[in-house]
Every structure is written in structure tokens, then in C-alpha cells.
Amino acid sequence: MSEESRYFNITVSGLPGCGSTTMLKMLKEHFGGDAWTGFSGGEFMRDYAIKQGLFADNSALHHDATAYPPDFDRQVDMGMRQRLETGKHQVLESWLSGFMAQQVPGTLKILMSCSDEAVRVDRIVNRDNVTPKQAIENMHTRLKKNSEKWSGMYANEWNEWVVKPGTMKADQPIDFWDPKLYDLVIDTYKLSREQSLQTVLDAIQAQS
């Protein structure tokens, strides 16, 4: 990515099994060296939950956001926004990183999606070594609990960052993963890993 590029930071968001963590790893490998930094919100929060005794480190399935207090949750999320506002050459990956980047100049907001839920389930089954039933229940429970928690926590920010600028209408429900909030949406059911990475690099190059 050149210094003249419109984008000098990247966020990667997506629901479980859509490939956001994989995209973070690929971008870190592509940029290489110490010039770019990468941050995984999920890994950070998981480590925190384990250290606080809120989550068993031998459990394969990932926990939901109710495992840690709202104040800490908000501190981490708003910390990401501050990093995007003040720093450069960062790739931040988390469920809410794209939302936290709303109206922050210079940030390429990527949404990873997967149009076939069976593929998402299969990825989680293989990643966490669980049954399909466990994977499906975990996916749906995490989405429900996280959405409910964050919708209450960030209602004011949603209004300031999304509704007032006209990205979404006031009567539309809060949806942190609505494609309208993102600059680039990648369907990993239709694209390979290599194609997905190239799509991001093409988007960056097109703005250089």
C-alpha cells in the first residue's frame, strides 16, 4: 500500500466462519515485516476472559460478549477507534471493528461473509473440533447475545456515526454487519482465499 493511497488502515469484520481471522493473517503475511501491525479483537478478548477465570481455556467453542463487563468491552472497542483515528498501517479484526471505523477517514472497511451457512458450520466444526449441532447453537447464541448487548451499548454511537450521516435510516434496526456500512464485502463461499486477498489488494490499488 503506497503512502498516496486513500486507505492507510484496514478493518476486517465478519460473523464466525466467514473468514475474518483468515483475512487478517493473510494481510499480515502480505504486508510483512514491522511496517504493518495486526490486531485480533476476538483473540484479545478470549485471552482476557481466560485470565479472569470467565472462560475455560480448554473449551473449543468461543464465548459470547457477555463473558466480560460492558466497561471493558467498550474500552477495547473505543480503543480501536482511537487507533484508527491517530495511527497508520494497521489491520484491525473484530466483530465490531468496521462499525468502530464509521466516519473515520482513511480506513478500508471489509466485511467478510459466507452465503452458504452449511459452509460456515463446517469451518467451525473443523476449527473447534465440535459437532455440527454444537457449532450451530454456538453461532446463533453468540450472535443473539452479542447483538443485544452491543445494540444497547452503542445506540448513541449508531445514531451519531450511521444515522445522522445518512448511511442508514432512523427507523431501520441496528445491524452492525449491514453491507451498507462497509467499503468492500467478500463472500468467501464464492471466492478462494487467494481470490479474497486479491480482491482487497485490488480495492487498495484502485484508490492509489
Could you tell me how many residues make up the chain?
208
Count of domains forming the chain: 1
Whether residue 114 contacts residue 187, with contact meaning beta carbons closer than 8 Å, is answered with: yes
Residue 17 sits in a domain whose CATH number is 3.40.50.300
Q: Cα separation of 167 and 164, whole Å?
A: 8
- Residue 128: inside a domain: yes
Residue 207 located in a structural domain: no
Average the pLDDT over 104-130 and give the result: 95
Question: Which strands form 90-93's sheet, in the order they lie side by side?
Answer: 37-40, 90-93, 9-14, 107-113, 184-187
* Structure confidence by residue, pLDDT tens digits, 16-46: 999 999 999 999 999 886 778 888 877 766 6
pLDDT tens, 50-71? 666 655 555 555 666 777 777 8
Q: Is residue 3 part of a domain?
A: no
Residue 199 in domain: no
Give the whole-angstrom CA distance, residue 125 versus residue 115.
Answer: 17
Q: What is the pTM of this model?
A: 0.89
> Does residue 1 lie in a domain region?
no
Residue 51: per-residue pLDDT: 64
| DSSP class per residue in 147-166 | HHHHHHHTHHHHIIIIITTT
Q: Is residue 121 part of a domain?
A: yes
Q: Is 4 inside any structural domain?
A: no
Boundaries of domain holding 148: 9-194
